[in-house]
Structure 1
Amino acid sequence: MSTEVDEIEVKGPDVTTENRLTKHTFSFLLSKIKGDRVIWAIVALLALFSFLPVYSASSNLAYLYGDGNTFSFLIKHFAHLGLGFGIMYWIHKIPYHYFKGLSIIMLPVIVVLLLFTMAQNTTIGGANASRWIRLPFVGVTFQTSTLAALVLMTYVARYLSKIKNKEISFKETLLPLWLPVFLILILILPANFSTTAIIFSMVMMLVFLGGYPLKYIMIILSTGVLALTFFVLVAKAFPDSFSNRVDTWVNRVENFVDNKDTQEDYQIERAKIAIARGGIIGTGPGKSVQRNFLPQSSSDFIYAIIIEEWGLIGGVFLMLLYLLLLFRLVIAAHKCSDVFGKLLVVGVGLPIVFQALINMAVAVELFPVTGQTLPLVSSGGTSIWMTCMAIGMVLSVSKERELMKKEEQSLGGNIKKKRVEEENPLEILSEAL
């Protein structure tokens, strides 16, 4: 009897030590991540959830382009997410005021990259992929327009914070604000209309929230519509002067309006069949049938596969996650006392939710086929990396708020009013320019 008691007494401390070690490890990991913990949790949930639909939907790609092994696509998706979370962690450690100067430095780099992308005319799998460039030595393809959107939104937020509470004329803003915006949009438009439209819409929303005069916004909107109309007419008159991507997105819009029977219509019909098969509770993970017929089942139309396998419950749950992310973005922007921080959160965070809603709308034919992925859920490296970079910037803003609160508590409220950007050489550069 005493032996049994001794054994229990020996085992007891080991279990307690294990629990303490686990708690210590968990606390250590939590101490390393800063910013809004709810946003961290949402991003982690979306990433974890993405493995099942990506693994299921990649069977079609494995059959067409591989040896039938879907596990390699799962490993590739894991690598993309791993690198994405590494980028997010690294970015959220940077004080967000540094992004002011970085946006000015990166703007000419982005223009050069977009010009190089247009000149390279990449093909992937025998198809035109003029939106991508292939990085030398590593053989990785990269979509430059997504990075351009992130840099441009940061640049616009920087400029709006600079002219806040100042009387400005429309002429004064043409060169520093609208020239970079329209230059980048013009370089993206021939290959990617949907991304151009999203960037332009987000810029319009940002300048409106940033207090830019409404009458000037109407002038820019009118100019944008006229420029797009002129471009489409020129593309129709001289079709050989542009890449076939122009014909692709023009035909998508025309077919959506006229309801013609095309390849895009075939994709939409298959997506709607998948949604109808899913019903309320779905057919079950890995039991999708339409994944074998949808050409972009793991990227553009992954939401239809999710509903087929997880039903309306899974689809609504995923939508609620994105709406919760939107709610936390609004809170992060509201809590930030700096104008640039507020505009940065809105400028780089809101397009993520907007893109997710567009992807869902395409699956149910509320929008024409756009080629926009479901952020953090669809397969694809560039989309995941740029989304994680944007989330990292948002977390950097929310982190600064936490640091200020801790400093106020430690100093008993007697905090020296010395701004971070005064010690930032990149901020000094941006103010000088």
Structure 2
Amino acid sequence: MKELVNNLKGDRVIWSFVALLALFSFMPVFSASSNLAYLGHGTGNTISYLLKHLAHIIIGFFIIYGVHKVPYHYYRGISKIALPIVWLLLLYTLVKGTVIAGANASRWIQVPFIGITFQTSTLAFIVLMMYVARYLSKKREEEDTFKASLIELWIPVFITLGMILPANFSTAALMFSMVLMLTFVGKYSLKYIGFILGAGIAALALFVLLSKAFPDSRFFSRVDTWSSRLENFTTNKPGEDDYQIEKAKIAIASGGIYGLGPGKSVQKHFLPQSSSDFIYAIIVEEWGLIGGLGVLTMYLLLFFRFIVAAHKTNSLFGKLLVVGLGFPIIFQAMINMAVAVELLPVTGQTLPLISSGGSSIWMVCIALGIIINVTKKEEEIAQELSDKARREAALQKLIDKELEEEDEDFLEGNYSIEDNTTNPMNAVLNK
């Protein structure tokens, strides 16, 4: 075990926070899975869900370990190869997407021969952030034009978002905002960012108008859900999502300051998606305000550590990778918690590393592995510089010692004036 810990390179603080969040997740997942255990005339035994979550977490940490061993500059080329593959997966999801656990959005595909469901938009998120980081770092030293960036950067971005938008508006909106943030950090022209923001809003408006023109099309089936959720949130009009929000608010109010205690949630039996989308409400009900604020604090501290890691990174590509892959994890967590307390309309975003679900956990682990990889490389560079400085200091000390001994020999008269080979004074004069 000690040898395994010693092999964990990179930012130890990030490793620690990830481990703490993963360990904490077992308690709310074990408790909140009871409603799933009763579905379909089940027995209510949540042990199987706990073991399934344990398997997801263990595989996730193996993913982090494996990814953090790959030099992060390899992801420049990987992003170019992976993006067309992601487009094919997204297109397949639009056509053949399945419905999971009662969710009415076709966002998943079934992996053949394995039986695992996979949400392709989560993989697309990671690949797109790597692609944007690669482009911005490549163009740093070159004078870029809007036409060139439109072809190399924005067309791939809009193709990716366009295939995610019909089934998952919240993820597409989060991705678009993160891309804009990444281009801002990468010192892309603010004027061009403004143009792209306007184009994105216009494209969304066109999509909504087309949905009104073709209301029976499966491609636009989710637009009515978005509009009803937004209308319910802004006008307090009763809707199907009100049941979830009301149960979530009851759970949060019941928790009080100290909570009902681990496993003692009542609303977990009534709240749909209690182990995924609304798991934060169960956490507050069982652990109280203290537990809810504790989870929020851990995400904020992880966010601060991402900022520190980005600041320490000398490579622009590495810096953009940390920002582009790390910040969305924190923003997704904030969105999930904001939905639970009704600060935002229902979005379907999970709580990273805590909510149940294999594909969401594994994709977060891939992003964390790349971030830790960047910090590992910076530590290796710092260690090399430190070793070089120590070697130079030791060599200088040895030279100073030799010169000091030669000066003592010269002052004591141990050299003859004719000895040009050993007398340091003569050696200097001969030069």
Instruction: Using the TM superposition, give the Cα deviation of residue 31 of structure 1 relative to its aligned residue in structure 2, in angstroms.
Output: 1.4
Q: Any unmatched runs of 5+ in structure 1?
A: 1-24, 416-433
**Pairwise CA RMSD:** 1.4
For 2:33, the equivalent position in structure 1 comes to 58
In the TM superposition, what is the alpha-carbon distance from 1:414 to its structure 2 partner? 8.2
Choose the corresponding residue for 2:95, options 119, 123, 137: 119
CA contact (8 A) 2:10 2:375 kept: yes
Post-superposition offset of 1:263: 1.5
2:423 corresponds in structure 1 to: none
Q: Tell me the residue number matched to 1:350.
A: 327
1:122 CA drift (Å): 1.3
The yes-or-no answer on 1:235 pairing with 2:219 is: no
Q: Which amino acid aligns with 1:56?
A: S
TM-score, length basis structure 1? 0.88
1:97 aligned residue = 73
| Paired-residue identity, % | 63
Q: Which residue of 2 aligns with 1:15?
A: none
Matched with 2:16 is: 41
Q: Show CA shifts across 1:166-202 (max 9, x none).
A: 3222111111000100000000000000000000000
Does residue 385 of structure 2 align to residue 408 of structure 1? yes
| Contact 1:235-1:242 within 8 A present in 2 as well | no
Inter-partner Cα distance in structure 2 for 1:208 and 1:269: 38
Query: SS at 1:43's partner residue?
Result: helix
**Bigger shift: residues 176-185 or 232-241:** 232-241
256-265 vs 304-313, which deviates more? Answer: 256-265
- AA aligned to 1:373 is T
When residues 126 and 379 of structure 1 are mapped into structure 2, their CA distance, relative to the original with a 3 A threshold, is: closer
1:22-33 alignment, distance < 5 Å: 25-26=1-2, 28-33=3-8
Give 1:207-222 correspondences, 5 Å limit.
207-222=183-198
Alignment of 1:302 with 2:279, yes or no, is yes
CA distances 1:373-423 after superposition (whole Å, capped 9, x unpaired): 0000000011100001100000000000111122222233789xxxxxxxx
CA distance in 2, matches of 1:127, 1:149: 21
State the Cα distance separating 1:29 from its structure 2 match: 2.4
Check conservation: 1:190, 1:242, Cα contact below 8 A. no
Distance change in 2, residues 1:408/1:127 (3 Å): closer
SS at match of 1:124: coil
Q: Which residue in the other structure is 1:145 paired with?
A: 121
Q: Distance in 2 between matches of 1:413 and 1:222?
A: 54
CA distance in 1 between partners of 2:8 and 2:108 (Å): 33
Secondary structure, in 3 states, of the residue corresponding to 1:377?
coil
Choose the corresponding residue for 1:383, options 360, 368, 390.
360
- Name the CA shift for 1:257/1:126 in 2 (closer, same or farther; >3 Å): closer
1:279-302, CA deviations, whole angstroms, 9 ceiling, x for partnerless residues?
100010011011111101000000
Consecutive unaligned residues of structure 2, counting only runs of 5 or more, are: 393-431
1:291 aligns to 2:256 (yes or no): no
Amino acid at match of 1:338: S
> In 2, distance between residues paired with 1:281 and 1:124?
34
Structure ranking higher on relative contact order (CA contacts 8 Å, 6+ apart)? 1
Q: For this pair of structures, how many residues does the alignment match?
A: 390
Q: Secondary structure at the match of 1:373?
A: coil
Secondary structure of the structure 1 residue equivalent to 2:364: helix
1:265, CA displacement in angstroms? Answer: 1.2
Structure 2 residue 107 is matched with structure 1 residue 131 = yes
One-letter amino acid of the structure 2 residue matched with residue 218 of structure 1: G
Q: Does 1:366 align with 2:311?
A: no
Instruction: Please give the TM-score of this superposition, normalised by the length of structure 2.
Output: 0.88
The equivalent residue for 1:430 is: none
